[in-house]
Structure 1
Amino acid sequence: MKSPNKSLFTFLMVSSTYMVASSSNWLMTWMGLEINMLGFIPLMFVKDNSSESQAAVKYLVPQSLGSTIFIASAIISTYFNNLQILMVIAMCLKLGVAPFHFWFPPVMASLQLTPAFILLTWQKIAPILSISSLNIFLIKTIMPIAVISAMWGGIGGLNQTDIRSLLTYSSIGHTGWMLVSINANYMIFISYLITYILINSSIYSFLTKEHMKSHKQLFSSKEEMSSLILAITILSLGGLPPFTGFIMKLLVLMFTEAKSMIILGLIMGALTSLFYYLSLTFSTLLSISKIHLTKKQMISKQTILFFLSQTLPLTLTMYFF
């Protein structure tokens, strides 16, 4: 695909997300979601091979189904308010949260690294903003879905060896936490979303530099400082204290109005995902005393993104709270 076309579809994808965020009725929200989907699908083709075509179809079908359910329930709910729950289910299908995640891992496994990280980060913003605009009663009904997603995200990543599969199930778990954060406080939800995107961007920056696929290659870089930064970033994504990922989860637990069983499920899912992140980074953390810092390593792009992901969300949280 030529660069001007790619720029056009990127503009459509980004502008449609802002359209969803600023919409005042369900019709505009639905139009923004459709434009967002149509803008992202051409960006999925990097090498134009058959696996990307299969991924595009696997992405298109559930997204179209979710949009159809959403607009149908929005129209019918004018007469039957009880059917608004279908709008929540439609957005959960578009987000790929458990138990509606059947399309998410196969699509992620077939994509190249750049569209895969767009799907992990930017493509979550529009559907989750649509959920946050619902009334508080409907938001409370998605708490069981949120806890199932958080627990499944931890369990599903236990036996994974591919980096994208690990990040896929991590995304499923974090999406469950984001849904609970909507019920806690809107600014906590925004801060959690920014934290998640920044941490994933830091990991993406390292992976594009090293061209890695298996978890065994993750920390085989000759630059020891880069391996340490990647290990800390992954542990922050898993929610290890005292990193930013843990602090954001702690804020969600402090301000949420969810029941104790929901909170217990979230904690169990987070601990399970943290287990395989710790086993992934254990050897690198043990060799921390052997790492010698140089000026070039300290000012690399990966280092800058790492410090942004660890400090910017905390600054936003302190500003609003």
Structure 2
Amino acid sequence: MKSPSKLLFMFLMISSTCMVASSSNWLMTWMGLEINMLGYIPLMFLKESSSESEAAVKYLVPQSLGSTIFIASAITSTYLSNLQILTVIAMCLKLGVAPFHFWFPPVMASLQLMPAFILLTWQKIAPILAISSLNSLLIKSIMPIAMISALWGGIGGLNQTDIRSLLTYSSIGHTGWMLASINSNYIILIAYLMTYILINASIYAFLSKEHIKSHKQLFSSKEPLKYFILSITILSLGGLPPLMGFIMKLLVLMFTSAQIIILFGLIAGALVSLYYYLSLTFSTLLSFNKMHLTKTQMTSKQAALFFLSQILPLTLILFFF
């Protein structure tokens, strides 16, 4: 990741997202999405393994299909307005939300931790911003997809033991909440995106130096306070009150104009996700009173990311409201 070529592709990925955010027509949006895809694919190769090559192909094919559907919809919707729904399908395919998530878990399973973290966080920004620029009728048509995604993100994570798979299905569920937040205040969408990225960054900071794959290895460390903080971060991702993840979900429910059945689906998906996160961290939380806190050390990056993920989005909300 420190080579000049990697820095160039990272710059392309970031600048293309800014292009999508500032574009005023569909052609510039399509170009930004294409550059974003082409800038991310080289970043998937850290160890030059065959699994990473397989993940790159599995990522390239649905992304190219989504781009093709998107530009075809932009051209034909000038004459047939009913075909604008294809724009929604194209963006949902790029996001990997249910029921268009068939490519997302296999790609995540084959990636190293850093490319997987980028795919979970930064790669969601450009398609979500493209969806937020649609008209209100198309945004309302996304609400059933948001409900299905939230439900599937909760149900799909129930039988998972791999940490990367848990984060994958959690991402599918959170993307459903992001789609629901598009139908509310724009600040809520930005704050939700910021909260989700910071919480995932905090989890990545804890896992980056550990060779952990299953949930049984996750909390078997000799540094109990560090993994207690990791438990709190994971529960915040699941939406346990009164943590930041719960506050963001509550704001989406308060300000969105979705139908009541959509809201019930979102809440049900969040409750199922919270169930398996509680089962994941239950033993660590119960043993906190036995921990020797004076023998535990945390790096400044881990502590800073944890407090930023819980405090910074709240200050943003208080500033605008």
1:61 alignment counterpart: 61
Task: Confirm or deny that 1:229 pairs with 2:232.
Answer: no
Q: Aligned letter for 1:30? A: W
The CA RMSD over aligned residues, in Å, is 1.2
Question: Quick check: 1:210–1:221 contact (8 Å CA) kept in 2?
Answer: no
| 1:297 counterpart SS class | coil
Distance 1:145 1:46, change over 3 A: same
- Separation in structure 2 between the aligned mates of residue 285 and residue 222 of structure 1, nearest angstrom: 15
Where does structure 1 lack aligned partners over 5 or more consecutive residues? none
Per the TM alignment, residue 314 of structure 1 is displaced from its structure 2 partner at its CA by 0.6
- Separation in structure 1 between the aligned mates of residue 6 and residue 25 of structure 2, nearest angstrom: 30
- Separation in structure 1 between the aligned mates of residue 132 and residue 154 of structure 2, nearest angstrom: 24
2:47 alignment counterpart: 47
2:16 alignment counterpart: 16
- Separation in structure 2 between the aligned mates of residue 2 and residue 191 of structure 1, nearest angstrom: 30
Per the TM alignment, residue 301 of structure 1 is displaced from its structure 2 partner at its CA by 1.8
Per the TM alignment, residue 300 of structure 1 is displaced from its structure 2 partner at its CA by 3.0
2:169 alignment counterpart: 169
1:275 alignment counterpart: 275
Question: Quick check: 1:226–1:297 contact (8 Å CA) kept in 2?
Answer: yes
Question: Quick check: 1:225–1:291 contact (8 Å CA) kept in 2?
Answer: yes
* Per-residue Cα deviation, 1:93-142 (whole angstroms, up to 9, x for no partner): 00000000000000000000000000000000000000000011100001
Task: Confirm or deny that 1:158 pairs with 2:133.
Answer: no
Distance 1:2 1:204, change over 3 A: closer
- Separation in structure 2 between the aligned mates of residue 199 and residue 292 of structure 1, nearest angstrom: 26
| 1:125 counterpart SS class | helix
| 2:98 counterpart SS class | coil
* Per-residue Cα deviation, 1:268-312 (whole angstroms, up to 9, x for no partner): 000000000000000000011123434973663211110110000
- Separation in structure 1 between the aligned mates of residue 28 and residue 108 of structure 2, nearest angstrom: 28
Q: State TM-score, norm by structure 2.
A: 0.98
- Separation in structure 1 between the aligned mates of residue 2 and residue 274 of structure 2, nearest angstrom: 41
2:135 alignment counterpart: 135
1:108 alignment counterpart: 108
Where does structure 2 lack aligned partners over 5 or more consecutive residues? none
- Separation in structure 2 between the aligned mates of residue 302 and residue 13 of structure 1, nearest angstrom: 25
Flag as ranges the 4+ runs of structure 1 deviating above 6 A.
none
Aligned length: 321
Per the TM alignment, residue 184 of structure 1 is displaced from its structure 2 partner at its CA by 1.2
1:35 alignment counterpart: 35
Q: Aligned letter for 1:230? A: L
